[in-house]
Amino acid sequence: MEFTDEQIHRYSRHIILPEVGGKGQKKILQARVLIVGAGGLGCPVGYYLAAAGVGTIGIVDNDTIELSNLQRQIAHNTERLGMPKADSAKMTFEALNPDVTVHAIKERLNKDMIMDLIKDYDIVVDGSDNFPTRYLVNDACVMAGKPLVSGAILRFEGQVTTIIPGEGHCYRCLFEEPPPPGLVPSCQEAGVLGALCGVIGSLQAMEVLKLILGKGQPLKNQLLMYNAFESSFRKVKVPRNPDCPVCSDNPRITELQDYEAEYCQMRF
Amino acid sequence: MEEIKPDKSINIKGLICPYTFVKSKLAIEEMEVGQVLEIILDYPEASRSIPKSMEDHGHKVLKVEKINDTDWVILVRKERE
């Protein structure tokens, strides 16, 4: 493909980077990224990936926009209250960059459709707000061998990690099973300062771009933790668990399962 | 001095920074290592910044010459992918 004059202008700040160049920008334009969740994290991730020119973005979310979302979910707006978040995200991202095709998937991920969905994408981003989805996405990506950039936020803290199946750790190497419902913060405890979503979502977008470009050191076998209150970052090593129930050589989990969503349905 | 024959020539007159460099970089990316790119330009700042950026990217600047009242010609040999 040849760049149009408009593309040369749009992506000039990428192209002049030695690590990107025209070749890297073409990789970005040809990339296909699936984002799970069009909420606090999915919005900034999708926004930056669309701006970067990721050619195909899938965004999965079965929720509609509520007023309480708008304090942090920056792809939506007040006029779109009640609209499906996936549709709103598609409108916002495609308006930002006509080079981008966004597929809005207005379903809740489940074990029967996730493998078929992720097979069309190169990289998966988890910005979901619940543990059943988080574990389902992890297990599906491990089984399909898809790189997964996982992010999570709560109150003033966030985490990012990049899972490269077969090469590094997976989410279950970190936390083998979902926590019992009683240990998950209740709705009243689960506030978040909105800008934290921008920090963590931008870190996730950066991980995705590095994977597309094949440059830099992604957070493989590492968990990056950010504390907004203390203004501190901490990176911890996460070795691959040789007895991991899903990504070890002899996994116990060989079929996907849908965990019961018996947690308080707080919406990130 | 022996005349260097460019393998490719681009005319970027009328362009200003950073598009002068963006166009030059895209051109050299398409070439083989060892080939020489000729760049004709009229933006004074770029006559200094393009050679510097090309060197920063690992290429060899063979010539920077003002050829008339408004234009420069720069020759760059591609040294690496």
Task: Compute the distance between CA of residue B21 and CA of residue B38 in angstroms, rounded to an integer.
Answer: 13
Q: Do B25 and A21 touch (CB under 8 A)?
A: yes
Q: How many CB atoms lie within 10 A of CB A155?
A: 15
Q: CATH classification of A11-237, choosing from 3.40.50.2020, 3.40.30.10, 3.40.50.720, 3.20.20.140?
A: 3.40.50.720
Query: Which amino acid type is present at position A103?
Result: H
B26 Cα to chain A: minimum distance (Å): 6
The radius of gyration of chain A from alpha carbons, rounded to an integer in Å, stands at 18
For chain A, what are the domain ranges? 11-237
Q: Supply the pLDDT for residue B3.
A: 80
Query: Which amino acid type is present at position B61?
Result: V
pLDDT, one tens digit for every residue, chain A (268 residues): 899 999 999 999 999 999 999 999 999 999 999 999 999 999 999 999 999 999 999 999 999 999 999 999 999 999 999 999 999 999 999 999 999 999 999 999 999 999 999 999 999 999 998 889 999 999 999 999 999 999 999 889 999 999 999 999 999 999 998 887 777 766 556 789 999 999 999 999 999 999 999 999 999 999 999 999 999 999 999 999 999 999 999 999 999 988 876 555 444 4
ipTM: 0.85
Average pLDDT, chain B: 95
What is the secondary structure of A155-179 as a DSSP string? BTEEEEEEE-TTTS--HHHHSSSPP
What six digits make up the tokens of B40?
A: 């004709």
B33-57 per-residue burial string, b: 16 or more CB within 10 A, e: under 16:
eeebbbbebbbeebbeebbebbeeb
Q: Is the Cβ–Cβ distance between A101 and A57 less than 8 Å?
A: yes
Which residues in chain A are closer than 8 Å to B26, comparing Cβ atoms? 3, 8, 15, 21-22
Task: Compute the distance between CA of residue A162 and CA of residue A2 in angstroms, rounded to an integer.
Answer: 32
How many H-runs (helices) and E-runs (strands) does chain A carry? 9, 8
Q: Supply the pLDDT for residue A181.
A: 73
Taking alpha carbons only, the member of A214, A221, A157 closest to residue A185 is A157
Q: Supply the pLDDT for residue A263.
A: 53
**Residue B57 in contact with partner chain A when CB distance is under 8 A:** yes
Q: Catalytic pick from B4, B17, B22, B26?
A: B17
Q: Supply the pLDDT for residue A154.
A: 87
Which residues in chain A are closer than 8 Å to B22, comparing Cβ atoms? 8, 12, 15-16
Q: Which CATH class is domain B8-77?
A: alpha beta
